[in-house]
Amino acid sequence: MRHRFCCKTGEMIYNYEFDKEEMNNTLVAKWRGEDGHDELSINELEDWFNKQLLKLVYQEHGRPDPEYKIDAEYEVLADDEIPEHKRAELVSELEADGIDVDALTDDFVSYSTIYRHFKECIDAEKGTDEDNTNTDWERDGIDLARDNFRDRVTNSLRALSKKNRLAGYDDAELEFSASLRCDYCPTRVSIETAIEQGFVCATHNDLEAAPDVSPTEVISSFLA
C-alpha cells in the first residue's frame, strides 16, 4: 500500500528517514527563533532543509560534507544564476561518486512547500499577535510573494526563449521592484525603504490626518 504524505516536505522527511516529530519541531523552532535557534525566514528554511537532504546523500556516498562545502555546492545546484559550466563540473563530480543529481534536486522543496507544510500540515503559526510584534513574519510574506512572482516570470521567459520567441534571454537579468506611493503627494519609495524607515511619506505619515482615506497605495506588480 502506497504511503500517503501530507505534502512534499512530509514526503521528504519520510523518504530521507528523518524523525518526523523532531524535524517538524526543529523547523518550527528555527522559524520562530526558539530553543536556542536563530530565527529564519521561510526562504532560509527552504535552504536549510534542502541542505539536510544534500548532507545525507553525501554521507551515504562517502562524499566529504563539511558545512562550507554543503553551502557552496548547494548554491551551485539550486541557483539558476550559476554559470552552466560550473554546474556541469559539479554534476560530473557527483555522478562519479554515484549520486543521481536529477533525483536529488527533484527532492529539493520550495519555500512555498515549507510554508504550506506549516499552515496546512502541522498547523504551525509564527506566534500570537502579541508575539508577532517582535518577529519578521510580515517580511516572510513579502519575500514569499516576491520569490513566487520571480519564479513564475522566470519560467515563462525561459519557455519563450526555448521557443525562439525571446532572443537574448540567457544574457539578460530579470529585475523588478515593488513600491508604496503616498495618496496625497508624488512621494514613492520601495517597500524595503518604507519598512526600514517606518513610514512611506515623511510629510503625510500621520494616519489620523485623513481617517476616511487610505494613506497609501501599494504599487506592486508581483502582488497584482
pLDDT tens track for 156-176: 887 888 888 888 877 776 777
Give residue-wise pLDDT tens across range 11-59.
Answer: 999 999 999 999 999 999 999 999 999 999 888 999 999 999 999 999 9
Residue 105 has pLDDT above 60, yes or no: yes
Last residue of a domain, one of 108, 127, 146: 127
Mean pLDDT of the chain: 82
| pLDDT value of residue 3 | 66
Query: Residue 136 has what pLDDT?
Result: 61
Q: pTM to 2 decimals?
A: 0.63
**Angle at the Cα of 85 (from 158 to 70), degrees rounded to 5?**
95
Residue 169: what pLDDT?
Answer: 75
Residue 140 lies in a domain: no
Question: 121 lies in a domain?
Answer: yes
Q: Which domain holds residue 25?
A: 8-127
Q: Domain check: are 197 and 118 in the same one? A: no
